Structure 1
Amino acid sequence: MLCGRWRSRHRRREEPPVPAQVAVPLALPSPPAPQDGGNKRPGLRALKKMGLTEDEDVRAMLRGSRLCKIRSRTWQKERLYRLQEDGLSVWFQRRIPRAPSQHIFFVQHIEAVREGHQSEGLRRFGGAFEPSRCLTIAFKGRRKNLDLAAPTAEEAQRWVRGLAKLRARLDAMSQRDTHTWIHFYLHRADSNQDSKMSFKEIKNLLRMVNVDMNDMYAYSLFKECDRSNNEWLEGPEIEEFLQRLLKRPELEEIFHRYSGEDRVLSTPELLEFLEDQGEDGATLAHAQQLIHTYELNETAKQHELMTLDGFMMYLLSPEGGCPEPAHTCVFQDMNQPLAHYFISSSHNTYLTDSQIGGPSSTEAYVRAFAQGCRCVELDCWEGPGGEPVIYHGHTLTSKILFRDVIQAVRDHAFTLSPYPVILSLENHCGLEQQAAMARHLHTILGDMLVTQLLDSQNPEELPSPEVMGLMPLCRPLAVYCWASRLRTPAPCPQPRPQPCQVSSLSERKAKKLIREAGNSFIRHNACQLTRVYPLGLRMNSANYNPQEMWNSGCQLVALNFQTPGYEMDLNAGRFLINGQCGYVLKPACLRQRDTTFDPECPGPPRTTFTIQVLTAQQLPKLNAEKPNSIVDPLVRIEIHGVPADCACKETNCVPNNGFNPRWGQTLQFQLRAPELVLVRFVVEDYDATSPNDFVGQFTLPLSSLKQGYRHIHLLSKDGASLSPATLFVHICIQRS
């Protein structure tokens, strides 16, 4: 079933009114409100740097609001929510027997903020509250949504607008301003909140930011900054200590190598650096533009000079990062047949946990679409009252209505990408409820549904994403995706291919075809779609390695999006490029019907990939409950591609330093099929007696990796930003 964008004239059907319910809020004691003179406190300096101290919405969030948290028809309780002075977290209080407990959530972990009854929870349980008073905070990863109702519509809007501003400022900083991050910990380390730091509090700060510094060295640094000689740091003394702590000697060395004795980069000197970085098309005009964008000193900017601070700002920006900036937008040819693309695909999309007893939810579809997914699965079964339901059949997973899922498709499928969505329907319904399914598809999706062949369609080719995403479109793949059983493909392409036939294979069957059919399977996938899904024996909804399937040209490599791990890291990396639209053009060797490519025999090495792992910055602590635990980091570089290219190499570990560890080690790889390679940068906490603990990772295609000195911005297991945690590396790609 294929869907595309609806026509602008399409109108949404009105939702039936929800019966009113009575909610009895609980009153909670309020913590002390922030005092005046806030900019003198370390916490508010972060908001000042973000330019939001005078914003009315943010000021209201700092004062706090009593919002009703909604979990069910009977569990609806008032909680006090208040933005912390760091601008990065929201504090809230809840009642537990005998004592109130306090918690926080981080703004950077928010995936979306939705207004009104725009979540499964509020649609089911929020009928007692007007939509204008309601909002949903959706988090990245597995954390459940936070469904809230404010006392007034205006107060709800203040939180919607305020959170949007905070998220936008955090994104705009792009991890350049580590001062915001460290001021958060400074605020926590200041135990009595007097804006002064004793040596004991400084030691606590160092442990919080993941560095175990020698006491004598730490005290000598403390005394150098204690200008008043009173055993306290305050005001400018604290700032000086932080500046010394955040020094980057490796960046200073690079800067001085190009700037010479005057310690500033002229435009020609910056251009020389850009050319050595391998920046294609670097010009004096581009160097001037970088100075005007990233230089902080106005006098230097007027004279078209870049200081060390401006240089560091540039290298920590997205422009100075490792992904090719042009690839963050749709840059590939989108006018080729659908079979020529890898298509981001989800398995058992309705599940939020394991496939044995986990809950089903329409929110899982919303999250999949938010990650760029373009193929989702609906397991359809007979339900009560003539209404088909979706769940994992013959298991204890909960059930959701088919019509609710189709409404989620209508409302969320095209928020991130305009390109077509494939609905993979696994039908277990009788004729009566099949008719109900068809009725819901037509009445809910309307013009979004593809119900007939497009004009000027070549019968031997599937339509392109561009065509499907741009004529008044979108109608189901009963037209373009017919389920068909795939046996061993013929040794050469059929004289008249059947592009509308789609084969759905288990990972075991796909691997068998890869071994036995080899090149014939690749030729088959050059003109017809193949969907691969995990074995049903994966009870915990684990995933298989998708790279093997991509090597053979399989387009719909379906994974359990709810299960984090290296497999989903590879999927996220594969579809990180091309504007995260969910479609990535396959390499030419996988698109030609007469290709001779065989991933088992890719030929001799064609590319040398060399990476020098230099340093890391502000790695996260793994166990916040053990403040004295410090990370012993090592870096592993993984190459995922054809079997002959797959490899991993790692650095030594650096003991007791997750703040600014140094390696300076060089790792090198010889690659035979670089166009298929994904590079995964992994940081782990070394342990001599047990498996290493995961710290962070970042994955992207080799073809989208920029050369030169680059910062790798690390992500968590769930794909959330670990800002400001970065790796600093030098990358060299030599193609023969």
Structure 2
Amino acid sequence: MSLNKTEDLTQILKELKVGSILIKQKSHGEKYVRRFYLDEHEDFISYYQSEKIFAQPRRYYIREIDEVRAGFHALAFGQLLKQHNVHSDDEELAFSIFYNNYRDELHLMANDEQTRCKWILGLQYLIDLYAQKRQGHIIHDTNWILSHLRFGDKDKSNTITKLECQQLLADSLNVELPEDVFEKLFQETDKNGENILTPDEFINFFQVLARRIDLYEIMQKYVENGDEQTIETICMNINELLYFLRTVQNQSILTYSSKQFKDDFTIQPITKREQVQELINEFEPNIELQEKGLLSLDGFYLFDSQLCGDSNPEAFNRVLRSGCRVVEMDCYDGDDGQPIVTHGFTFVKPCLFESIIQFIKPTLFKASPYPVILSLENHCSISQQKEIARILKQILGNQLITAPITTKNSSVLPSPEDLKYKVLIRTVEHDSSDLCVFFETKSFRESDATKNLYFGSHSPSLSERELKQVCRSDPIGLMKQTQKCLLRMYPDGLRQD
């Protein structure tokens, strides 16, 4: 079943609003038959209340859904298969909904494949639609604004109280306003003085809140005829931006003395239009990999803190979908010869290394086609290191880089463009050495004499505290070092955020 026409999609959404019988599966084996439906405003899905007197059906808001996944590709379904609570023949009927930043899961079984397909297609369309609006900053779209009101309206009165509004701003929109500022905005838009906002009043409140009066007032000073322009129309041309960066911000920019020798650069003030253009140029994918700023997250497989909680492969999916291209795994020996991922010497519950690789494979290149680096902090025995290598090769196949790639300059790393849809391994030399092609883990060296011993294939590590020290003592030297190889920083062991 495919969505070739708008009529197909419209019909699917109509059918989802009518609802259909789905089986809600729990990981311990319990199941509940419910009639699930899509809300008429297309803000959430829910199910009709059971016969329990005080039962309150759960709402699963589209805005909170991270992914809809077909089949048994979730840990809960894996457990159900092992316990024989579901049969492998039923995989075409199963799908999972991940929400709340992959922290929560809903596992469902349809009565037939067509019903499952309608739910997956309909939900995916709504998720994509919401994402487009959010990315496009469509703060004037009244339907989008009203979806926030319905989300924050806990008593379902189609209005929002002052307390509900404050909670919505803090919990869902990540907006923290001083009490006096919030009170002023609320009173200005509460026309009836009843301490509640109607839908029209909430739209007005939201649009006033979204205006950056502070930026508008700054731009008015530096834009020609700024006093005559409204907050909706004001903009800076490149000459005005140059003047602002140079005279007000005292902004500086990196300047290279030669295109051939990019290790040789200085920090200079912005004085030319061309320098401003450099700041706003789009991403260039053909530059060598070591010249890219790569985000690496240590301990992101934890849904709680570094000291306690569960390791969960869905946490990897969460950061990969958000665009992270370097993911870290602390690997230890597990039972039955199977390596595990956990946070050493803590109360974190482990997860099988193989399970993580299986679950992240479909997500690796959803956000970007550019390479993913798996940084393995390897504490395994030789036999389980070999098992790690086997798992990576078997599951990732030809996506895994196992041999150097020929480039014009062998002294530098390939560019992201050269490594599209590829996975690279970062580890110490003796661990899975045939997989460690480009990123060999090395200790960080701060002295000038030892810095020159690094090659493009090396990847030094330093602690959060060391990085802060080097940033203060030798920022230019640190930046030059990152021109040669990728640098990894790991957080303080007791960090909780």
8 Å CA contact retained: 1:374, 1:422: yes
Q: Which residue of the partner structure matches residue 430 of structure 2?
A: none
Q: Does 1:467 align with 2:426?
A: no
- 1:514 touches 1:521 (CA, 8 Å); kept in 2? yes
Matches within 5 A, 1:223-238: none
Match of 1:480 in 2: 438
Q: 2:461 maps to which residue? A: 504
Give, in angstroms, the shift of residue 487 of structure 1: 2.5
The partner residue of 1:151 within 103, 108, 111 is 111
Report the secondary structure of 1:145's partner residue. strand
- Mapped to 2, the partners of 1:343 and 1:55 lie a distance apart of 41
SS at match of 2:395: helix
Counterpart Cα distance in 2 of 1:535 and 1:371: 23
The answer on whether the counterparts of 1:186 and 1:205 sit within 8 Å (CA) in structure 2 is no
Query: Is the Cα contact below 8 Å between 1:492 and 1:523 reproduced in 2?
Result: no
In structure 1, which of residues 268, 278, 281 is the aligned counterpart of residue 236 of structure 2? 278
Residue in 2 that maps onto 1:69: 24
Distance 1:52 1:205 in 2: 39
Instruction: Kindly state the Cα deviation for residue 168 of structure 1 after the two structures are TM-superposed.
Output: 3.9
Per the alignment, residue 228 of structure 1 pairs with none
Partner of 1:115: 70
Letter in 1 for 2:125: K
Residues 112, 139 of structure 1: 8 Å contact kept: yes
The AA in structure 1 aligned to 2:192 is A
Choose which of 97, 102, 106 in structure 2 pairs with 1:137: 97
Give the match's secondary structure for 1:467: coil
Tell me the amino acid that sits aligned with residue 294 of structure 2: I
2: CA distance, partners of 1:125 / 1:202: 41
Change (3 A) 1:167 1:475: closer
Q: Does 1:373 find its partner at 2:324?
A: yes
Correspondence 1:353 to 2:308: no
Deviations along 1:441-492, one digit per CA (max 9) or x if unpaired, are 111112111122111353321221111127xx55545111111112323079
Alpha-carbon distance, 1:493 to partner? 6.4
Find the aligned partners of 1:388 and 1:145 in 2 and give their Cα distance: 25
Counterpart position of 1:336: 287
Task: Tell me the number of residue pairs that the alignment of Structure 1 and Structure 2 aligns.
Answer: 401
Correspondences of 1:244-393 after superposition (within 5 Å): 277-278=235-236, 331-393=282-344
Secondary structure at 1:114 match in 2: strand
Give the letter for the 2:323 counterpart: G
AA of the residue aligned to 2:309: G
Work out whether residues 189 and 205 of structure 2, in 8 Å CA contact, stay in contact via their aligned partners in 1. Answer: no
Which of structures 1 and 2 has the larger relative contact order (alpha carbons within 8 angstroms, sep 6+)? 1
Distance 1:429 1:100, change over 3 A: same
How far apart, in 2, do the equivalents of 1:215 and 1:410 lie? 49
- 2:27 maps to a residue whose letter is S
Corresponding position of 1:726: none
- Partner residue in 2 for 1:86: 41
Identify the residue that residue 479 of structure 2 maps to in structure 1. Answer: 522
**Farther-moved stretch of structure 1 (357-366 vs 131-140):** 131-140
Q: Which has the higher helix share?
A: 2
**1:557-576 superposed matches below 5 A:** none
Contact 1:134 1:147 in 2 (8 A): yes
TM-score, length-scaled by structure 2? 0.68
Distance in 2, matches of 1:475 and 1:184, equals 41
Moved over 4 A (4+): 51-54, 93-98, 183-191, 201-217, 238-251, 270-276
Out of 182, 198, 202, the position equivalent to 2:146 is 182
Note the alpha carbon deviations across 1:7-50, whole angstroms, 9 max, x for none. Answer: xxxxxxxxxxxxxxxxxxxxxxxxxxxxxxxxxxxxxxxxxxxx
The alpha-carbon deviation at position 344 of structure 1 amounts to 1.7
Structure 2 counterpart of 1:109, one-letter code: E
Q: For residues 206 and 386 of structure 1, do their structure 2 counterparts lie closer, same or farther at Cα, with a shift above 3 Å needed? A: closer
Alignment partners' CA distance in 2, 1:113 and 1:396? 31
Structure 1 counterpart of 2:245: none
Indicate if the aligned counterparts of 2:140 and 2:207 stay in contact, CA closer than 8 A.
no
**Are residues 96 and 499 of structure 1, via their aligned partners in 2, closer, same or farther at CA, if it must alter by over 3 Å?**
farther
Supply the AA of the counterpart residue of 1:430. S
CA offsets 1:605-631 (integer angstroms, 9 cap, x no match): xxxxxxxxxxxxxxxxxxxxxxxxxxx
1:536 to 490, 493, 497: 493
Q: Report how far residue 107 of structure 1 moved.
A: 0.9
Structure 1 residues 98, 436: CA separation in 2 closer, same or farther (over 3 Å shift)? same
| Aligned mates of 2:210, 2:371 — CA distance in 1 | 46
Name 1:667's counterpart in structure 2.
none
The answer (yes or no) to whether the contact 1:53–1:59 under 8 Å persists in 2 is no
Structure 2 residue aligned with 1:290: none
Q: Could you report, residue by residue, the CA deviation over 1:507-559 in whole angstroms, capped at 9, with x for unpaired residues?
A: 11222333444432222222121100111122x3x2xxxxxxxxxxxxxxxxx
The CA deviation string for residues 619-670 of structure 1, in whole angstroms up to 9 with x for no partner, is xxxxxxxxxxxxxxxxxxxxxxxxxxxxxxxxxxxxxxxxxxxxxxxxxxxx
Q: Distance in 1 between matches of 2:489 and 2:164?
A: 44
Equivalent residues of 1:419, 1:469 under 8 A apart = yes
**Equivalent position amino acid for 1:500 in 2:** S
1:190-214: CA deviation from partner (whole Å, max 9, x where unpaired): 99x9xxxxxxx78767886677559
Match of residue 105 from structure 1:
60
Change (3 A) 1:271 1:132: farther
Report if the CA contact (8 A) 2:333-2:379 is conserved.
yes
Shift of 1:186: 7.9
Residue of 114, 117, 121 corresponding to 1:161: 121
Residues 151 and 454 of structure 1, relative CA distance in 2, 3 Å threshold: same
List runs of 5+ in structure 2 lacking aligned partners: 1-5, 167-184, 212-227, 240-278, 427-435
**Aligned residue identity for 2:108:** L
- CA apart distance, 1:177: 2.0
Q: Contact 1:460/1:497 (CA < 8 Å) preserved in 2?
A: no
Provide the rounded CA distance (Å) in 2 between the counterparts of 1:449 and 1:395: 31
Give per-residue Cα distances to partners, 1:99-153, cap 9 Å, x unaligned. 3123212111222211112322223325437222111212243631222212222
> RMSD over aligned Cα, in angstroms?
4.3
**Which residue identity is paired with 1:528?**
C
Give the fraction of aligned pairs with identical amino acids, expressed as a percent: 25
Residues in 2 aligned to 1:514 and 1:249: alpha-carbon distance in whole angstroms: 37
Segments of structure 1 that go 5 or more residues without pairing to the other structure are: 1-50, 194-200, 221-237, 252-269, 282-326, 543-736
| Partner SS, residue 466 of structure 1 | coil
Tell me which of 172, 184, 192 is aligned to 1:218: 192
Aligned in 2, Cα 1:476/1:190: closer, same or farther, shift over 3 Å?
Answer: closer
